Structure 1
Amino acid sequence: MNWNLKMRNWHRDFSYFYAGLLIAFSISGIALNHRHSWDPRDYVYESIDLKIDLPKDRDAITEEFFRQSLKENNIDLKLRGTAYRRGGYNLYFDGAYAFVNPFTGEGEIERFRTRPVLGQMVDLHKSTSNVWLWYSDIFAICVLLICITGLVIAKGKGGFKKRGWKLALLGVIIPSVLWFFL
């Protein structure tokens, strides 16, 4: 049995099979790395100014209060929940979000949609479906096999024993140092 040929075949076949998922994870991973600058999953397509007369008694500001205020402002969105966070009132709707200033009562409702394709790719990172968890575990094992077979299939001057181990060691050291300092 020629192990080198078998490793090459596994490396090739697993790479072909998972190329689409590797590309999706790579693109969405880059997008998620920059989520502090923009939302890679959703985009705002409409903003609605909002002005709510807030009562002086903070205990009177309830979810029901916001429901009534939205109705009075002719805003026909189903309120899913509220929270007082980051110095203001957050209102959550299906497909929309609002922030209300607690001092002025002014705010803005942002209606959003999921970015086509990229939004679904980002969701792959967060899915907790049992089927997806099993599939992604198998994917992770296959990525390990792709890496291991990739390390051993090259022979000669470009092989692991001559040059590859140095690059592999750098590939471990650089992220370890970055992780330590970040």
Structure 2
Amino acid sequence: MINWNLKLRNWHRDFSYFYAGLLMAFAISGIALNHRHAWDPRDYVYETIAVKMDMPKNRDLITEEFFKTCLKENQVDLELRGTAWRRGGYNLYFDGAYAFIDPFTGEGEIERFKIRPVLGQMVDLHKSNSNTWVWYSDLFAISVLLICITGLLIPKGKNGFKKRGWKLALVGVAIPSVLWFFL
């Protein structure tokens, strides 16, 4: 006869061991991403370069070529990758840098950044869309479900799911549901 409680314990333990590192990485980077309004958990600025551009009155003259010329005049040797109008100004994008230019004064700052060691890579896990990572993370998600299910089914007696666990599980579902509804 199969001892299902022992099997569930073994599966719970082995999946937990196997995915412990990834679970911790997602937990740490998830906390960091929850506070991204206060700081950038992926990148940090290590150099700021002030720039001043003579903005033409005619907005049609403000092109990528215009910005490339202004960058040369400011002795900025970064290669411009793209521009966008956002939040009432011009954003300039470079490899490892970005800038915001005030459209009225022409003043701005180029911020050169680097990826935070370890934490930056953990944050990238949340955004990766490579096929290999997508499949691996799907397997991870299924395994996390198995960890949760086996964790619910293992305890027996007064601390088991039927006696006490269902109440905690219900509260654990209710709190985020209520928060999600009001946010």
- Alpha-carbon offset, residue 28 of structure 1: 0.3
Deviation at 1:96, TM superposition (A): 0.3
TM-score, normalised with respect to structure 2: 0.98
Is residue 94 from structure 1 mapped to residue 95 from structure 2 by the alignment?
A: yes
Give CA-to-partner distance per residue, 1:105-147, whole Å, 9 cap, x none. 0000000000000000000000000000000000000000000
Aligned partner of 2:9: which letter?
R
Correspondence for 1:68: 69
Aligned match of 1:171: 172
Alpha-carbon separation, structure 1, partners of 2:119 and 2:96: 17
Percent identity of equivalent pairs = 82
Correspondence for 2:112: 111
Question: 1:12-40 deviations in whole A, cap 9, x for unaligned?
Answer: 00000000000000000000111111110
Q: AA paired with 2:50?
A: D
Q: Which residue of 1 aligns with 2:158?
A: 157
Letter in 1 for 2:133: W
Q: How far off its partner does 1:162 sit?
A: 0.9
The corresponding residue for 1:29 is 30
Query: Which residue type is aligned with residue 108 of structure 1?
Result: E
* 2:144 match: 143
Query: Which amino acid in structure 1 is aligned with residue 67 of structure 2?
Result: F
For the residues of structure 1 that align with 2:27 and 2:143, how far apart are their CA atoms? 16
Q: Which runs of 4+ in 1 moved over 3 A?
A: none
Q: Report the count of equivalent residues.
A: 182
Compute the displacement of 1:169 (Å).
0.6
- Structure 2 stretches of 5 or more lacking a match? none
Q: Which residue of 1 aligns with 2:19?
A: 18
Give how far 1:72 is off: 1.1
Distance 2:86 2:178 in 1: 35
Gaps of 5+ in 1: none
Structure 1: distance between partners of 2:177 and 2:57: 53
- Amino acid of the structure 2 residue aligned with 1:25: F
Q: Partner letter of residue 170 of structure 2?
A: L
